[in-house]
Amino acid sequence: MISKNYRLGMLIGFLAFIGTAVALVLIAFEDSVVFFFTPTELQSKQVNPERRIRVGGLVEDGSTKRGPADAEIRFKITDGNTTVTIRYIGILPDLFREGQGVVAQGYLQNAVFQADEVLAKHDENYMPRNLASAMNK
Amino acid sequence: MALFLAVIIRDLQLAKRHGTDIAMTLAFFVLVVALFPLGLSSAPVLLSKIAPAVLWVTVLLSAMLSFDQLFQKDYEDGWLEQLIFSGLPLSMLVLAKACAHWLITGLPMLLLAPLLAVGLNLPSKSYPITIFTMLLGTPVISLFGTLGAALVISARRPGLLITIIVLPLLIPVLIFAVSAIEATGDWSAIRVRLLFLGAILSAAIPLVGIAASNVLRQSLE
Amino acid sequence: MHHISNMNRFFCIANAILPIFCVVSAGMFPVGLYYALIESPADYQQGDTVRIMYVHVPAAWGAMICYLTMAMASAVFLIYNQPLANLAARAAAPIGAGFTLIVLVTGSFWGQPVWGTGWVWDARLTSVLILFFLYLGYIALANAFEDPDRGGRAGAVLALVGAINLPIIKFSVDWWNTLHQSSSLWRIRGPSIVPEMLLPLLLMGCAYFSLFVVMMILRLRGLYAGRLLRQMRIAAASR
């Protein structure tokens, strides 16, 4: 039979492994695995221009401009501190609006983000139209 | 500890005698990876972009082929039964089996990976990270596969069943490993992913040890 | 055999509450759908697309509750060897798989116009997909053995290992930057959803829950009958 000490040893060993796992996860959460970067994160770190990344933020008011090329669009997104210019050719989702959240996917080249896909991020607020307009007044 | 080593040595000796089993798994691994450059010969840039995913998916699939025999023979020849009734700590036995499986299939795949990566045009600066993700990820495959093998003892069509059960559990490993390789050059992004892989590995050891040993005990009741 | 009296007592209660939940479910779905599809206002951003939410979110709750039921029943079966728990876990699995499928499909319909894509590999969507695979794996494993108890035990271990996925699904939207929005209801500062939209959501939640109870009881009955039939066959064959 297995001795009591042996069982105790195994228990301690197993708890040590679990503890290590929790510690590693906690360390990892300090800079978390993200679906997208914020503009501030984008500026503070060196991103390889060949790496396809996502950047997310709110579309800045009055920054949307139709570009020279067909269906080309430029807009700025912000997280409150930093803005980044995004250039995109294609059709925007219905929910794309100034002041709304978007997530763009593409490559950061010469401080301009060349997006090949723009997704609208919906926030967790649900309300009818008349209430929303009343709140903005 | 002596038991742990004894089981590993026994499995390694068995594997040496039936060398063809491992050779087949590795041959499958090499063959499937080799199919991609052949199929994508016209698009070398695309190939180097999908290289991390190809490598890791193939590792997963080849490993799946090697699990159905992990406990089946021991079960059929009565070795497992004797071990269970001997009162020895079953969780140690399970971990030793997983460790032996990793030495037999995970380690050779890890050693082959850089060679195959050349064929896939993986950028050379991604090699160290690839090795690192394999070092952390392949033991997790062996552990979950051992659990799967314990679950399907005496089931109908065990090979297929293991794949269905184990692959979903390994999706996080695949995601973190591949995205770590793709993040080459961005050290903080790699660090997070490697930390998660390490966390999965260290959580899997006790989890599989406890779960699989319970399954084995019940399989003979 | 002492389990039989246990079972009979359970089915006495279950049969008594079954009609209540049948009525609640049959009544709640039309009322809930009326409020969800007609009475409630369109969203200020999404317009009428928001109505998919009333089908999507309660199905997600159902999928989680099913897994919770399955995991707890599995634990009870492994620890106390209670056959009813085995049947409960088996009964919950296909229902949960169905709910999860509804979640994935309706979510994709909602994402297509709102996000601009039907599927992304963010943490929430991926973990729910894993949940779906866990249900399928459980069903496959539990039915892969000649002996249903053996299959139930193997499945129970898988269900418990996979239970780690539940908190990951729930908190994925808070832990990581996901494309999926975070919860509107379970928030410290109260729900961020107006009452006239919250009402149909809760009505649909009740409707889904009572449907879940009805399906659980019906499936338990069927599984129990199958189990009795199997015992009779074995007894007849060994005579």
| Min Cα separation B178/chain A (Å) | 13
Q: For B84-94, how does the pLDDT look when each residue is reduced to its tens digit (9 = 90+)?
A: 877 778 888 89
Tokens 């193997």 belong to residue = C154
Residue-level pLDDT at C187:
65
- What are B's interface residues with A at a Cβ cutoff of 8 A? 87-89, 91-92, 176, 179, 182-186, 188, 191-193, 195-196, 198-200, 202-203, 205-206, 209-210
B91 touches chain C (CB under 8 A): no
Res A110: pLDDT: 76
In a domain, C96, yes or no: yes
How many Cβ atoms are within 10 Å of B71's Cβ, its own excluded? Answer: 26
Q: What are the φ/ψ torsions at residue C117 (nearest 5 degrees)?
A: -155, 145
Provide the annotated binding site of A: 122, 126
* pLDDT digit string, tens, across residues C201-222: 899 999 999 999 999 999 999 9
C69, part of any domain? yes
Domain count within chain C: 1
> Would you say residue C82 lies in a domain?
yes
Please give the residue that has the higher pLDDT: either B118 or B142.
B142
Lowest mean pLDDT, pick from B34-43, B93-102, C136-145: B34-43
Which range has the worst mean pLDDT, A46-50, B121-125, C66-70, C158-162? A46-50
Range from B75-79, B133-137, C190-194 carrying the lowest mean pLDDT: C190-194
Residue C222 placed within a domain: yes
Nearest CA in chain A to C182: A124
**Domain locations along chain A:** 1-31, 39-121
Would C199 be classed as within a structural domain?
yes
Contact C220, C94 (CB under 8 A): no
Backbone angles phi, psi at B41, to 5 degrees: -60, -20
Report whether pLDDT(B2) > 60. Answer: yes
Angle at which helices B19-39 and B44-65 pack, to 10 degrees? 160
- Residues B8-12: contacts with CB within 8 Å, 24+ apart? B8/B96, B8/B99, B8/B100, B8/B103, B11/B96, B11/B97, B11/B100, B11/B101, B11/B104, B12/B100, B12/B103, B12/B104
Q: What is the pLDDT of residue C19?
A: 92
Within-domain flag for C141: yes
Residue C211 is inside which H or E element, if any?
helix C195-238
Option in B184, B198, B206 nearest A14 (CB): B206
Instruction: Name chain A contacts of B206, Cβ cutoff 8 Å.
Output: 13-15, 17-18
CB contact (8 A) between residue B171 and residue C144: no
Measured CA to CA, the distance from residue C116 to residue C55 in angstroms comes to 20
Nearest CA-CA distance, residue A101 and chain B, Å:
23
pLDDT in tens, B161-199: 899 999 999 999 998 999 889 888 777 778 888 998 999
Residue C1: predicted pLDDT: 46
Residue C123 forms part of a structural domain:
yes
Tell me what ipTM this predicted complex has.
0.73
- Touching B (3+ Cβ pairs <8 A), the chains are A, C
Cβ under 8 Å to B: C residues 175-194: none
Q: Is the pLDDT of residue B47 over 70?
A: yes
C131: which 2 tokens?
Answer: 């949940």
Of B18, B49, B47, residue with least CA distance to B34: B47
Distance in Å, alpha carbon of C163 to nearest chain B alpha carbon: 11
Is residue C228 in a domain? Answer: yes
Position B166 scores a pLDDT of 92
User: Percent of chain B having pLDDT more than 70?
Assistant: 100
Q: Which CATH class is domain A39-121?
A: mainly beta
**pLDDT tens-digit readout, C77-128:** 988 888 899 999 999 999 999 999 999 999 999 888 888 788 887 788 888 9
Place of tokens 């064959």: C237
Q: Look-up: residue for tokens 């090795």?
A: B131
Q: Which residues of A carry a binding-site annotation for heme?
A: 122, 126
C48 CB-contact burial (10 Å; exposed 0-12 / middle 13-18 / buried 19+): exposed
User: What pLDDT score was predicted for residue B183?
Assistant: 82
Using only C-alpha atoms, what is the Rg of chain A? 23
Alpha helices in C115-194 (DSSP H): 123-142, 148-162, 165-175
Q: Which domain holds residue C70?
A: 51-178+193-238
